[in-house]
Structures are given as structure tokens and as C-alpha cells.
Amino acid sequence: MAAASGPLIRAEDLWRTYTMGAEEIHALRGVSFTIDPGEYVAIMGPSGSGKSTLMNLIGCLDSPSKGNYVLRGKMVSQMGDDELAEIRNREIGFVFQTFNLLPRASALHNVELPMVYAGIPKEERLARARRSLEMVDLGDRVTHKPNELSGGQRQRVAVARALVMGPSILLADEPTGNLDTATGEEIMRLFEKLNADGHTIILVTHEKDIADHAHRTIHIRDGKIESDEPRVR
């Protein structure tokens, strides 16, 4: 879990610029915010607003062109490829719209995968993967392959995989986008439970219904923060 003192994430004037031939495209134009441990934040915005770019930066998949990104006191914005890989491994748990499970691997092995890259020994990996799957109520499905599971079950496997390393942030990108409404609600209830247990969750979505589950919503438009406000109950 996150360190006790100070914010979990501090983003200061983040810019992300892509060069397309001679043209420069600014996907982010100076974004600043902080997120404290235990928060449940939704990042919203229409397509092309820069929310995906911001998500990539928060998830340490990409580095800003300008500005600082501090995660748990570490200056991530100046790290190299391999350091970023380690940060992703230990600090970030990804949940994707399309689940992104390895199709030929069992649920158990999918959940094991982050621990493989962390160099955790086999027995411990298996025990922890099992525990993680039990936490999302899939203890009886460990040997099933993704194509033997329903969409909701697959996304729960993905959540189990995201949580198994005990990350600082659970970063979910349209986690209900490929699920029907009922199953989507089921996943959102799981997120709420996880947040109640103390997990920091960042939810990237363009659906207001989904964003309303979060306790704080950051709206992005044209690469800038349009609004940043707590949920009105």
C-alpha cells in the first residue's frame, strides 16, 4: 500500500507532444493534479481529449515530454525503459477494456505473470495467484482458460492479476466497455469493495454512469483539465 505521507501521485505541468512529420501535436498541454492514497478517481473526456495519453503517463507506459510526474515520491518522468518496467510491475495494476489475458494460459498462469517478471519463486507465485483469484471469487476457476470463462469472469481474472503484486494504483481503462450492463455493474461493485479495502483506483472512461461510481472526477478536454471535482451526492 501507499506510503503514509504526502500524495500518492503528483503531476506537475505535464505535456505530451507527438511529432507527425513537420507538425507537432500537443496531446496534453500542462496538466497538474495530485491524488492521495485511497482515492477513487475517474478521468473523463471525449475521444481525442488526451485522456488516454494521460492514462499512459499515469500507468508509466509513456513518459511526458515536459513536466514532472512523481509516484510515491519517485520521479518517474525521468526514468528509463527498464526502470519504468519495474515501476509498472510493482506500483501499477492494469485493467483493460479488452481484458488482455494471454489466451493460451490458464487463469492461474495469467495471474502469475506479473510475479514471473518480479522474479518471485514458483511456489510463492502459485500460492499468491490462487489467493488473488479467490479474492475475486474465482477460486474454482483457476485452471480455466480465458475462452472458457465469461466476460465478467475474464475481467475478474484481470483484476486478480492487477492486484497480485500489491500495487499502489489500480488503473482501469474502460473496464466495462466490453461487458453488458449487468456484468459491468458487477465489476463496478468489485471496484467499490476494493476501494473500501483501501486500494487507490483510477478509472478512465467516457461513460458518465461508470464515472459516477468514483468519488472524484477529472474532466479532460483538448489536453487540459476542464474540471476536477468531488462527486456530488
Partner 1 sequence: MPFAEAIRIAVASLRSNKLRSVLTVLGILIGVSSVIAVVAITEGLDAYIAERVLELGSQSFTVQKFPDVITSREQWLEMQKRKDLNLRDLQAVRDACDACAEVGGMLTTRRDAKYGRITQENVVVMGVTENATRIGTMREITTGRSLIDDDVDRGSAVAVIGSDVADAFFPNMEPLGKEFQIDGHPVRVIGVVEKKGTVFGNSQDNFMWVPISYFQKMYGNRRSVDIMIQARSMDTFEKAQDQARVVMRNRRHLGFNKPDDFSVETGESVLELWQNATRGIYVVTVVVTGISLIVGGVVVMNIMLVSVTERIREIGVRKALGARRRDILRQFLVESVILSLFGGLLGLAGAAVFSWGLATVLGNIMSTTFTAPVRLWAVLLAMFVSTLVGLVAGIYPAGRAAALDPVVALRNE
When asked if residue 97 is in the footprint of partner 1 (CB under 8 A), the reply is no
Q: Are 69 and 11 in contact (CB under 8 A)?
A: yes
61 touching partner 1, by CB under 8 A: yes
Nearer to partner 1, 69 or 213 (CB): 69
Per-residue string for binding with partner 1, 167-206, x by CB under 8 A? ----------------------------------------
Asked if 17 touches partner 1 (CB under 8 A), the answer is no
Decide if 32 contacts 13 (C-beta within 8 A).
yes
The count of chain residues that interact with partner 1, using the rule CB under 8 A, is 24
20 lies in the site for partner 1, by CB under 8 A:
no
| Angle, alpha carbons 181-104-113 (nearest 5°) | 85
Does position 94 interact with partner 1 (CB under 8 A)? The reply is: yes
Interaction of residue 221 with partner 1, rule CB under 8 A: no
133-to-11, 17, 30, 130, 178 alpha-carbon distances in Å: 33, 39, 39, 5, 21
* 15 makes contact with partner 1 (CB under 8 A): no
Sheet holding 66-71, edge to edge: 23-35, 9-20, 66-71, 74-75
Is residue 1 near partner 1 by the rule CB under 8 A? no
Q: Does 127 bind partner 1 (CB under 8 A)?
A: no
Binding segment for partner 1 (CB under 8 A), chosen from 29-37, 56-64, 133-141, 143-151, is 56-64
Which residues partner with 179 through β-bridges?
Answer: none
Q: Strands (DSSP E) along the chain, which ranges?
A: 9-20, 23-35, 40-44, 66-71, 74-75, 92-95, 169-173, 200-205, 216-221, 224-230
Q: CB 104 → partner 1: shortest distance, Å? A: 6
Distances (CA, A) of 73 to 50, 79, 147: 25, 13, 40
Contacts with partner 1 by CB under 8 A lie at 56, 59, 61-62, 81-82, 85-86, 88-90, 94, 96, 100, 102, 104, 113-114, 116-119, 161, 165
